[in-house]
Amino acid sequence: MNKKVSSKAQQFIESIPHSRNLGMRVVEIGDGKAVVEMPYDPTLIGDPVTKVLHGGAVSALMDTASGAAVVSHQAAGVGTATLGLRIDYMRSATPGQAITATAECYHVTRTVAFVRATACDTDIDRPVATATGTFTVSTAQK
């Protein structure tokens, strides 16, 4: 994917109201892969004692990155919707650090796109969470 298309895809993702509301930024997108970053913010805290981000915010990031990976895949068409999303939380994200989700759309059929994603804080060797998802494919009628 060339740079121009990539920046268009970037704008497309960053214009999604909920993703924008969470401060998400597309770091990289193209060929079925997307990297999306979400800054730490005190309004997103889920555990008042430890100040750790809420799992829901991480889910929203995973869903955005996964959906972005799908729309950037050449066989998946322009729009998509989540069918199923499973998230495993391996550890608490370190408070104060941004979370980066890397999603890869590894298989696309005529009707379904399959995605896996990993979320990390600045310690990239120990992921915070992993996810697998299935998404709709909206190619023109075949």
125 φ/ψ sector (left φ>0, alpha ψ -120 to 50, else beta): alpha
- Report the first-to-last Cα separation within the chain, whole angstroms: 24
Strand partners, 133: 85, 115
x/- track of binding to another protein for residues 94-133 (CB under 8 A): ----------------------------------------
Q: Which stretch binds another protein (CB under 8 A): 27-35, 81-89, 102-110, 115-123?
A: 81-89
Nearer to another protein, 46 or 77 (CB): 46
Helix intervals (H) in 15-142: 17-21, 55-71
Q: Determine if 85 is a binding residue for another protein (CB under 8 A).
A: yes
Q: Determine if 86 is a binding residue for another protein (CB under 8 A).
A: yes
Minimum gap (Å) between residue 66 Cβ and another protein:
9
Q: Determine if 11 is a binding residue for another protein (CB under 8 A).
A: no
Q: Which regions of the chain does DSSP assign to beta strands (E)?
A: 25-30, 33-38, 45-47, 52-53, 82-89, 99-108, 112-120, 129-136
Contacting residues toward another protein, per CB under 8 A: 15-19, 21-22, 42-49, 53-57, 59-64, 67, 79, 81-89, 92
